[in-house]
């Protein structure tokens, strides 16, 4: 008699082990405390990345004085940092493809991913320390920013990908954890400008970067004790996985639509599926041979129905349009966020004749509003059924606030308008980023390594181009370009998002007929 999970199948022979992927036994999951610790660790990685970004903006004037660089030259360094981040994003894509192939061949390698993140956290500590103690060396600043940009790209893309894979079959938990990651980034970016303001007030030191370095070393020491990293789905299993979800919710007619399935699909234990407006949560912890055979038949029928509902060309077009729209939203959102975070302080100093310390406080307020918005969305994301309404709200607020920045000099109280514009953009970009990351999977787009790479690349492209373009304009005293760039890009983002939403709604309507 066979012991354990399949003790009720003693009458079956070796042919039972030849069942499809649905019947494969999974490695026992880590404890709930380790799962929470893993979530916290990913949160802290993003907080350290945000801390570096948040510290750099208010320190620009200090770094320019120390190195003798112009705004345009510093803008070039920022662009090189973002290009290096893009290279890191592509490097993560290659590594994720390797993980996917290993998973497909039955050789999952989860732990090396966490070892890689450990090494990269130590590298972050080194580069942060160098930036804080570079003295008057422009070359040291340039090399440190380029090298850290690569590290930033790998860790940012890696942690986001791991979170999306970790909750691949749970929309609500995926929305919650992605929102939590972005909250972590914003928490770090909120704290470090306050530290920079304090350092400017009490001696002008650069010990903010030392604090970031110490936090990175402490977090690196934690990662070896964490459970294995989540793995991407095997390349050949993507279609079967979506078909299995449709089968479980009853698209074949073998199950009643909208009711929970008790087939006991162990491979999908504890996961929730949604398709055709229905929902099912697998609750059984036992699986009989008969149930597995029935599940296999349902998967075959569901695959046939998927092909009948949508031709391959229609499905590819739907996925391409949705991913393109979300890539544009990500590019505009991160571009607006980093352009304003980087150049808000110089903008206020040169246009509004405000002090560096006051602008550091305004930068911290900008990140604080963004942090509050992302934390609010973190909790709201676990309640709402879709991210579309919040996305439209965010883009609308960001567009209005960008227009305030564009007309900054036309108002009688320009400092108040600058505060309103900065706070409004902070609200607008707060939850647009996590919404754009999770909406493709809500629309049944498989989150393969390449799809995630496209999203991350668009994210990085916005970080790269927007601060550089603003720095280029500032060097020519075209300070109005900050608000103009943000406003025009938000209009483009809004139009593409509306078009993608309309196509998604029409597609869902056809599937329910």
Q: In this predicted model, what pLDDT tens digit does every residue of 411-423 receive, in sequence order?
A: 666 778 888 899 9
Both structure tokens of 440: 């493709």
CA-to-CA distance for 119 and 177, rounded, in angstroms?
24
Which letter does DSSP use for residue 231 in this model? -
The verdict on 116 and 147 lying in the same domain is yes
Could you tell me if residue 15 is inside a domain?
Answer: no
pLDDT of residue 302: 56
How far apart, in Å, are the Cα atoms of 495 and each of 185, 329, 505? 28, 10, 16
Element (H, E) at 275: strand 272-275
Domain end marker among 288, 310, 332: 310
The verdict on 304 and 363 lying in the same domain is no
Helix 356-380 / helix 32-56 crossing angle, nearest 10 deg: 150
pLDDT tens sequence across 42-93 = 999 999 998 998 888 777 777 777 787 877 787 788 778 888 988 998 999 8
CA-to-CA distance for 135 and 66, rounded, in angstroms?
7
Q: Is the dihedral of CA 292, 273, 93, 157 positive or negative?
A: negative
Taking the alpha carbons at both ends of the chain, their separation in whole angstroms is: 49
**CATH code (residue 230):** 1.20.1250.20
Q: What angle do CA 118, 116, 77 make, to 5 degrees?
A: 85
* pTM of the complete model: 0.69
The verdict on 284 and 389 lying in the same domain is no
Contacts of 492 (CB under 8 A, 6+ apart): 328, 332
Tokens 């567009």 belong to residue: 399
Mean pLDDT, each 10-residue run in order, the chain (513 residues): 40 42 48 80 93 81 78 79 88 85 62 86 92 78 91 92 81 86 85 81 74 93 80 54 43 36 38 39 43 56 53 75 94 91 82 73 83 89 87 95 83 78 92 90 81 88 85 84 93 94 79 56
pLDDT of residue 126: 93
The verdict on 169 and 276 lying in the same domain is no
Contacts of 353 (CB under 8 A, 6+ apart): none
Which letter does DSSP use for residue 441 in this model? H
The verdict on 186 and 321 lying in the same domain is yes
The two counts, helices (H) then strands (E), for the chain are 16, 2
The verdict on 123 and 244 lying in the same domain is no
DSSP percent split of the chain into helix, strand, coil, nearest 5: 75, 0, 20
The verdict on 200 and 282 lying in the same domain is no
The verdict on 282 and 390 lying in the same domain is no
Could you tell me if residue 502 is inside a domain?
Answer: yes
CA-to-CA distance for 227 and 267, rounded, in angstroms?
19
Instruction: Find, among 210, 91, 211, the residue nearest to 156 by Cα.
Output: 91
Both structure tokens of 35: 């799962």
pLDDT of residue 93: 87
pLDDT of residue 103: 66
Phi, psi dihedrals of residue 386, rounded to the nearest 5° = -155, 150
Number of domains in the chain: 2
Q: How many Cβ atoms sit within 10 Å of the Cβ of residue 262?
A: 12
CA-to-CA distance for 448 and 104, rounded, in angstroms?
13
The verdict on 342 and 239 lying in the same domain is no
Residue pair 375/427 in contact by the 8 Å Cβ criterion: no
Element (H, E) at 274: strand 272-275
Could you tell me if residue 161 is inside a domain?
Answer: yes
The verdict on 359 and 479 lying in the same domain is yes
Contacts of 200 (CB under 8 A, 6+ apart): 58, 62, 356, 357, 360
Could you tell me if residue 13 is inside a domain?
Answer: no
Domain span at 257: 235-310
The verdict on 65 and 129 lying in the same domain is yes
């Amino acid at each position: 008699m066979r012991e354990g999970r399949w003790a009720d199948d003693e009458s079956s022979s070796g042919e039972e082990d030849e069942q499809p992927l649905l019947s494969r036994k999974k490695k026992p999951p880590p404890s709930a405390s380790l799962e929470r610790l893993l979530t916290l660790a990913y949160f802290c990685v993003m907080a350290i990345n945000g801390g570096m970004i948040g510290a750099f903006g208010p320190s620009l004037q200090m770094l320019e004085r120390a190195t003798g660089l112009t705004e345009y030259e510093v803008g070039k360094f920022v662009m090189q940092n973002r290009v290096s981040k893009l290279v890191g994003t592509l490097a993560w894509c290659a590594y994720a493809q390797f993980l996917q192939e290993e998973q497909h061949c039955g050789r999952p390698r989860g732990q090396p991913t966490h070892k890689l993140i450990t090494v990269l956290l130590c590298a972050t500590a080194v580069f942060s320390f160098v930036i804080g103690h570079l003295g008057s060396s422009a070359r040291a600043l340039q090399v440190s920013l380029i090298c850290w940009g690569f590290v930033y790209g790998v860790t940012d893309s890696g942690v986001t990908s791991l979170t999306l894979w970790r909750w691949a079959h749970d929309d609500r938990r995926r929305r919650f954890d992605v929102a939590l990651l972005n909250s972590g980034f914003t928490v770090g970016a909120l704290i470090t400008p306050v530290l920079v303001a304090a350092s400017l007030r009490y001696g002008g030191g650069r010990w903010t970067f030392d604090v970031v370095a110490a936090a990175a070393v402490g977090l690196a020491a934690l990662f070896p004790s964490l459970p294995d990293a989540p793995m991407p789905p095997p390349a050949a299993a993507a279609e079967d996985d979506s078909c299995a979800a449709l089968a479980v919710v009853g698209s074949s007619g073998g199950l009643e639509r909208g009711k929970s399935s008790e087939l006991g699909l162990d491979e999908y234990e504890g996961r929730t599926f949604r398709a055709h407006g229905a929902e099912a949560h697998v609750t059984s912890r036992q699986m009989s041979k008969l149930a597995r055979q029935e599940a296999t038949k349902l998967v075959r029928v569901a695959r046939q129905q998927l092909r009948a509902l949508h031709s391959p060309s229609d499905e590819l077009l739907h996925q391409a349009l949705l991913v393109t729209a979300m890539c544009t939203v990500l590019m505009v959102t991160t571009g607006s966020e980093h352009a304003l975070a980087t150049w808000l302080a110089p903008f206020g100093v040169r246009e509004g004749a405000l002090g560096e310390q006051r602008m550091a406080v305004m930068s911290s307020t900008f990140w604080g509003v963004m942090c509050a918005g992302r934390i609010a969305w973190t909790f709201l994301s676990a309640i709402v059924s879709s991210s579309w309404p919040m996305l439209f709200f965010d883009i609308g607020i960001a567009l209005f606030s960008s227009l305030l920045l564009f007309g900054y000099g036309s108002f009688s109280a320009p400092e108040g308008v600058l505060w309103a514009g900065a706070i409004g953009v902070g609200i607008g970009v707060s939850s647009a980023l996590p919404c754009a990351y999770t909406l493709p999977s809500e629309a049944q787009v498989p989150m393969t390594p390449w799809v995630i790479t496209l999203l991350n690349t668009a994210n990085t492209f916005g970080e790269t181009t927007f601060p550089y373009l603003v720095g280029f304009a500032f060097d020519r005293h075209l300070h109005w370009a900050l608000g103009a760039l943000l406003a025009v890009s938000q209009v483009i983002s809004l139009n593409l998002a509306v078009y993608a939403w309309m196509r998604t709604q029409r597609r869902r309507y056809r599937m329910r007929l």
